Amino acid sequence: MLTVDQINQYYGGSHILRNVSLQANAGEVTVVLGRNGVGKTTLLKSLMGVVPVKGGRITLDGQDITTMPPYERVRRGIGYVPQGREIFSRLTVEDNLRMGLAYRSGSTPIPPLLFELFPVLKAMLHRRGGDLSGGQQQQLAIARALAAGPRLLVLDEPTEGIQPSIIKDIGRVIRRLADEGLGQGRLAVVLVEQYYDFAAELADRYVVMERGEVVQQGLGRDMAAEGARERMSI
């Protein structure tokens, strides 16, 4: 589904991403681990075209998307949940969800499956996004990214500042999306996360980053044996 091949990215004179390569397959959750400041968020912004890469190649279903603008990547099937949620606090839950359908016809309905995945959103459809709790806002951000029916879902630390009960709900949704999709085939999921236990429970594949580089990767079931947790604390 997604192949990242030797991408590099700079902020000013700082080399942020150094020859980063990874892949994400349909039906799998690929987790990206690492301490703060190692380039995880920059990697996701590069996948979305929010920041341009200075070298390397990104392909989606075999098509080169390296230089495509973000809106075109969304049209090609990428859904993005940024760190900090970034919902529209003054808009209602319904309007936030419709923002996820912005490039579709105005008559396109909100997919009912979103309310099956996140029942609380249906009950709060006409409340402003800013009136929701942090966990509810995170659910709204994920639902907004899913509204247009992506084939690849990219999430940046969805557990940050969220209560444990909602973390479990979000984990169940992510697993279901990878296993079953949205009715049009299984999704590929790229999950950046610092909460190791949450990541380990979901991971089919894992990647550990340090100083902008991939220093370790493998199968999710081998994370403990291969010392992935310890690499995060180095």
Give the tens place of pLDDT for each residue, 190-231: 999 989 999 999 999 999 999 999 999 999 999 999 999 888
Q: How many independent structural domains does the chain possess?
A: 1
pTM for this structure?
A: 0.93
User: What is the per-residue pLDDT across 32-78, written as a single tens digit (0 to 9) for each?
Assistant: 999 888 999 999 999 999 999 999 999 999 999 999 999 999 999 99
Q: Is residue 141 within 8 Å of residue 104, measured between CB atoms?
A: no
CATH number of the domain enclosing 57? 3.40.50.300
Residue numbers of the domain that contains 198: 2-232
Q: Is residue 87 within 8 Å of residue 145, measured between CB atoms?
A: no
Provide the total of helices (H) and of strands (E) in the chain, helices listed first: 9, 10
Please state, in angstroms and rounded to a whole number, the distance separating the CA atoms of residues 122 and 168.
19
